[in-house]
A and B are shown apart, each in its own frame.
Chain A
Amino acid sequence: MRIAGKGLIDRDTQVSFRFNGTSYVGHRGDTLASALLANGLRVVGRSFKYHRPRGVLTAGSEEPNALVEIMEEGQQTPNTRATVQEIFDGLEARSQNHLGSLRWDLWSLNDLAAPFLSAGFYYKTFMWPRAFWEKLYEPAIRRAAGLGNLSPNADTAPYEKAWASCDLLVIGSGPTGLMAALTSARAGADVILAEEDFRMGGALLSADQVIDGQPALVWVEAALAELDSLPNVRLMTRTTVTGAYDSGVFGALERVGLHRAPDAHLPRECFWRITARRAILASGAMERPIAFPLNDRPGIMMASAVQSYLNRFGVATGRRVTLYANNDAARVTARQLMAAGVRVAAILDSRPDASAVEDCPVYLGAEVLETHGRHGLRAIQGRHTGGEFRLDTDCLAMSGGWNPTLHLTCHMNGRPKWSADLAAFVPSDGAVPGLVAAGAANGSFSTHGALSTGHAAAVQAMADLGLTAPDLALPTAEDAPYRLTPLWSVKGKHRAWLDFANDVTTKDITQAAQEGYTSVEHMKRYTTQGMAPDQGKNSNVAALALLADATGRGIPETGTTTFRPPFTPISIAALGAGGRGKTFAPQRFMTSDQASRDRGAPMIEAGLWYRPSYFPKHGETHWRDSCNREVSYVRNAVGVADVSTLGKIDIQGRDAARFLDLVYTNTFSTLPLNRVRYGLMLREDGLVLDDGTTARLGENHYLMTTTTAAAGLVMRHLDFVHQTHAADWDLRFISVTETWAQFAIAGPKARALLNSVLDQPLGDFPFMAVGPVTVGGVKARLFRISFSGEQGYEIAVPTRYGEALFRDLVARAETMGGGPYGMEALNVLRLEKGFITHAEIHGRTGAFDIGMDKMVSAKKDCIGKRMAMREGLNGPEREQLVGLRCKTEFGSGAHLFTQGTRVHRETGQGYVTSMCYSPTLGEWIGLAFVKNGRARHGEDLRLVDHMRNTDCLVTVCNPVFFDPEGGKLRA
């Protein structure tokens, strides 16, 4: 319930929200947890394995119990920490992981079966009968496990990612972080101060402390006002630094819109990549629970959380609160509760020699042995140096001491070191280059320690950066010593929880040790200790201590498991912002794109490009109708296709020819001026990289064409060969792919069509010629090349004229009985001619396989030449390129067998790479790789395609089906 006069919430602003369908009212400045506690709700969730009722344990992002689903229209966010979620008008939350209502969860029967569900039980059973695992046991386990529910709907909300750079990143805005930020800001450094909470101030918001003789908040506000006024400081609230990565890169998650109703444009979250020259980890410390019997009841909370709800949110977490602690620091909670008028039932201090000055019962040498209250704590039983006791209490505030929040220092494989003084792990120096931990994160638990180490860390960071921090008077603050006697667990007949979130108890740890899972990693993996949403933040150290105890080793010898990124979980949507839908990869459009779409062409992805599949006409019911028609344009009249996606690389210099001779298997230094030559390019491992034509535009000037798919690959390859093997050659090259729109014009009437658009009619322009032309006054390049076997040209104009030329060419072609053709027709045309694409040169084929070994010049070296000669890449055992023909349909991907042999991997003779129906030949044709194929032309092979239920005979033939002599090309 609320306590008048306490807290930083805005009492004037009421916020209404719903939890499990019931409306509640809180205040601006409340988290969902504080608002629920203020409304007297204790059970907020169910545990993972035993489905025990659970309440709020902490007041921070490490919360293991109070995980809820946040509901929206058609969407929901599972596993949301109620301790982090701010309330807003209209917030709708509900509890998760129960079958039936939160109060009567049917899965809680698991709790009764707990003796049979001990650590690793599932590895030892469910093995017989075998089929039952998948059909019965596993589905049941899966349904009961898990936590919240994901919506089945696409998450269409906005998210973003962003970058930031700074001199100094300060992580955490408590006294340490504020002091570090002030120091470095005054030194003139470019500073980012990142704070996970929605309000800066860290522990000072909750602790009710005094700095420089005034309430700490006065100092906090003054510091923030100064920082906010400085142009070299960026303050980032609601921003959790989630990971430390190489070279000073940090990941951080900003909760941009989670504290308000959804908005169409406002990102829910932003994932930041912050590059910092130096960083100060001022993330404070986390209080740790005590594993006493039945320590998981709602109402049993961290002492610091009780303090935080009291001082920051003005909420009393109980009417009769008990404090159970092993250290001096936690006593403050009891004192502050009493000062605020909350009754403290008793202070239980595990240390027999601790002080007893408070105005309430103080039991020394105390331990809690049992707790009562199924749906919320009612009473506890225990003993102390004076005997046994039973206390009626509805809230137990526990403190087993503090662990520095050092997780980020482990992200680059740094191992923390054990401090016997603190009974805690502390960061190792230099674990993350450029980052130092200060304040409580480094084991300085007093406010004075925080301020002074924060200052010192900043002074050092400034010195590293060559900046001088001006003198600054350190504010005065409490400097109480941190006195603690370790207390990890209390033995008793009931289960005592370590990992609340994964339902791991102390017995599980001892059982793991008993079964030989004594390595800390084995223990973790066997018991699942520390693998839950809090990643062991609340429990790992105690679990280690118990394992150390069970194995007779010390904690340092036992070692720790590794904290890995992220510090707190990050939504896939935030990390993958920009990935959803079309924005996953850039879209590349040809200049003819709109013209093709205007004609109803389905556009298909070709790498990043979009290309027209075919151009449907009225009355055509199948894509093949359109395709056949477009093929006939080219075979009988003239067809026009946009081929601009092919890579084009302009190569110049006195060594250009020499360079081409090195990267191609064949020779280009002998290519006459104004001529084009087909070239084959190998990878250095001797297999085919790419093919294409290269034109000689001048004595020292070439234009290389690559396939669409390999354009980037080839550019990288050329850069490599140039810079590593030919750096001092006289050579410059640059991509001109985007500079030119290029159109294939093919067919018997191609020349006529060309002549109708060229400013000067074409003179003698033989096959494989290239030369400059003009179209409507625009300078263009004309190539006489063909990918169809017909008389073919490709005309290239500057891209800005591409669309106009395409529309013009198509319109003219149509008046000549032709028209545009798309990828489908292009594929048929090339197959009829036996031209290969990356369906054939798929990375496993060599020049020998495609019958081009003669193109590997014997007179010169080239990239890939030596490795292409390896025995395994040559000879009759290799699958070689052949043609296939058949009267019935067959498909690519079918496998081929010698007639009469069984169909098995061992007897396979090859496979089909490409196929089509050839309207020109009136049958089904394809390309295939067949063992010793070139010697098998004329043989009928059995083609088997289990996927398409095809089993037929196909005839092996020359891969060039159409015009094998090439007369039409040269016509």
Chain B
Amino acid sequence: MPELIAKTALDGQGALTLIGTTLAPVDLGIITSIAPFAGQVKAIDTALKPLGLSFPPPNTTAASGAARLVWTGPDQALLIGADAPDLGTAAATTDQSGGWSALRLSGARVADVMARLCPLDFRPSAFAPGQAARAQLGHMNAVFWAEKDALMILTFRSMAQTAWDECAHALTALAARAGA
């Protein structure tokens, strides 16, 4: 029998800290997409109650403990950090666990780093904790959400290295400015 060892896309990649800002890969564990069928949001909210979550309105996240539900599109959210409850026929669910690669960007210059990567305004005044967005990181489709002390970035797993490189490059250039 084979012994299958799990590996994240950025396996072995350490964090990068410059000018008080840290870029780090994160393993988010299980991710499940939840897509409620028409008229089923109430049923889903009931099923999510034990997790302390309810289906999030557009551009927001719902969080409770380690679990969070991140809006990713019309009738679609990603459940992260918790096993999906049985939603029966109320929603279409798929396992998305390995499909995404997560980066955590935290510290003083998050918005300035992001200003080099995405047209959205990520200053806390414009993108506060609890907010989520579907947008692009460079040329890659991505999911963003703000936590209390960090910005979370999801990109497709196959593009994880490019996502890392672009974020790291932006941070490095910013640090060079600070040193100049």
Q: Consider the complex of A and B and state whether they touch directly, i.e. have CB atoms less than 8 Å apart.
A: yes
With an 8 A cutoff between CB atoms, is A554 at the interface?
A: no
In the complex, A158→B170 CA distance in Å? 11
Q: List residues of chain B with CB within 8 A of the CB of A733.
A: 92
With an 8 A cutoff between CB atoms, is A967 at the interface?
A: no
Residue of B nearest to A190 (CB): B125
Q: Are B99 and A739 in contact (CB under 8 A)?
A: yes
In the complex, A467→B98 CA distance in Å? 48
Q: List residues of chain A with CB within 8 A of the CB of B91.
A: 732
Q: For residue A695, give the distance in angstroms from its CB to the closest CB of chain B.
A: 14
- Stretch of A59-67, A443-451, A797-805, A957-965 that contacts chain B: A797-805
Residue of A nearest to B116 (CB): A162
Task: Output the residue of A257, A586, A775, A798 with the most chain B CB within 10 A.
Answer: A586
Within the complex, which residue of B8, B119, B138, B161 is in contact with A578, where a contact is CB–CB below 8 Å?
A: B138
In the complex, A776→B1 CA distance in Å? 6
Q: Please encode chain B, from 169 to 180, with 1 for each CB lying within 8 Å of some chain A CB and 0 for all others.
A: 110110111011
Q: Please encode chain A, from 254 to 267, with 1 for each CB lying within 8 Å of some chain B CB and 0 for all others.
A: 00110010011111
Q: Are A757 and B165 in contact (CB under 8 A)?
A: no
With an 8 A cutoff between CB atoms, is B66 at the interface?
A: no
Q: Are B119 and A732 in contact (CB under 8 A)?
A: no
Q: Are B1 and A586 in contact (CB under 8 A)?
A: no
Q: For residue A612, give the distance in angstroms from its CB to the closest CB of chain B.
A: 15
Within the complex, which residue of A160, A256, A273, A734 is in contact with B92, where a contact is CB–CB below 8 Å?
A: A734
Q: Are A808 and B35 in contact (CB under 8 A)?
A: no
* B residues 153-175 in Cβ contact with A at 8 Å: 156-159, 161-163, 165-166, 169-170, 172-173, 175
Q: A776-B4, A798-B98 are in contact. Are A162 and B115 (CB under 8 A)?
A: yes
In the complex, A700→B89 CA distance in Å? 10
Q: List residues of chain B with CB within 8 A of the CB of A165.
A: 121, 126
With an 8 A cutoff between CB atoms, is A218 at the interface?
A: no
In the complex, A267→B177 CA distance in Å? 8
In the complex, A778→B157 CA distance in Å? 19
Q: List residues of chain A with CB within 8 A of the CB of B1.
A: 757, 759, 776
With an 8 A cutoff between CB atoms, is A738 at the interface?
A: yes
Q: For residue B11, give the distance in angstroms from its CB to the closest CB of chain A.
A: 9
In the complex, A730→B94 CA distance in Å? 16
Q: A160-B170, A728-B38 are in contact. Are A739 and B98 (CB under 8 A)?
A: yes
With an 8 A cutoff between CB atoms, is A590 at the interface?
A: yes
With an 8 A cutoff between CB atoms, is A623 at the interface?
A: no
With an 8 A cutoff between CB atoms, is B54 at the interface?
A: no
Q: A757-B1, A776-B2 are in contact. Are A263 and B176 (CB under 8 A)?
A: yes
In the complex, A798→B98 CA distance in Å? 6
Q: Are B92 and A778 in contact (CB under 8 A)?
A: no
Q: Are A589 and B35 in contact (CB under 8 A)?
A: no
Q: List residues of chain B with CB within 8 A of the CB of A650.
A: 92, 94
Residue of A nearest to B31 (CB): A739
Within the complex, which residue of A264, A588, A730, A797 is in contact with B158, where a contact is CB–CB below 8 Å?
A: A588
Q: A589-B161, A732-B75, A759-B1 are in contact. Are A800 and B97 (CB under 8 A)?
A: yes
Question: Which residues of A does B touch, CB under 8 Å?
Answer: 158, 160-165, 190, 256-257, 260, 263-267, 273, 275, 578, 583, 585-591, 608-609, 650, 652-653, 700, 728, 730, 732-734, 736-741, 757, 759, 775-778, 797-805, 808
Question: Which residues of B does A touch, CB under 8 Å?
Answer: 1-9, 33, 35, 37-38, 75-76, 89, 91-92, 94-100, 115-116, 118-121, 125-126, 138-140, 156-159, 161-163, 165-166, 169-170, 172-173, 175-177, 179-180
Apart from the given pairs A162-B116, A652-B35, A801-B5, 19 other A-B contacts in the complex at a CB distance below 8 Å: A160-B173, A163-B118, A257-B180, A260-B180, A264-B176, A583-B166, A586-B159, A730-B38, A732-B76, A732-B92, A734-B33, A736-B95, A738-B96, A738-B157, A739-B97, A797-B4, A799-B99, A800-B8, A801-B7
Query: Could you jot down 19 A-B contacts, CB within 8 Å?
Result: A160-B170, A163-B121, A263-B176, A266-B180, A273-B119, A583-B169, A653-B37, A700-B89, A730-B38, A732-B91, A736-B96, A738-B98, A739-B94, A739-B97, A739-B99, A741-B98, A799-B98, A799-B99, A804-B3
Across the A-B interface, the 10 shortest Cβ-Cβ residue pairs: A799-B98, A738-B99, A652-B92, A265-B176, A732-B92, A732-B35, A588-B158, A739-B99, A808-B2, A266-B176
